[in-house]
Amino acid sequence: MKKEFDHGTAADVSREDLDAVMTSLEPDQLSFEKAKHHCPRRKLTGVEMLLFWALRIYLVFMFGVVIYQVWTGAR
Partner 1 sequence: MLWLLIGPGVLVMLGENDGPSMLSYAATGARFGIGFFLPFVVLTFCMACVVQEMTVRLGAATHRGHAELIFDRFGPFWGWFSMADLMVGNFLTLVTEFIAIRAGLGFFGVRPAVAVLGALCVLFVALMTHRYWTWERITLGAAMFNLVFVPVALLSHPHWGAVSRALFTWKPLPGGLNQETVLILLADIGATVTPWMLFFQQSAIADKGLTTRDIRFGRFDTVLGAALATLAAAATILATAPLFTHHMTAANFEAAEFAQALQPFVGRWGSALFALGIFEAGMVAAVTISTSSAYAFGEVARRPHSLNLPFKQGKSFYLVLLAEAAAAAGLVLIPGIPLVYIVLLVNVIAVLAMPPALLFLYMLVNDREIMGELVSPIWANMLALGVVIVLIGAGLLFGVSVIAPNALAALGGR
Binding interface with partner 1 (CB under 8 A): 22-23, 26-27, 29-30, 33-34, 36-37, 39-42, 44, 48, 51-52, 55-56, 58-59, 61-63, 65-66, 68-70, 72-73
CB 52 within 8 A of CB 44: yes
Q: Cβ closer to partner 1: 1 or 39?
A: 39
Backbone conformation region of residue 14, classed left if phi is above 0, alpha if psi is from -120 to 50, else beta: beta
Q: Cβ closer to partner 1: 5 or 61?
A: 61
* SS3 (DSSP) at 18: helix
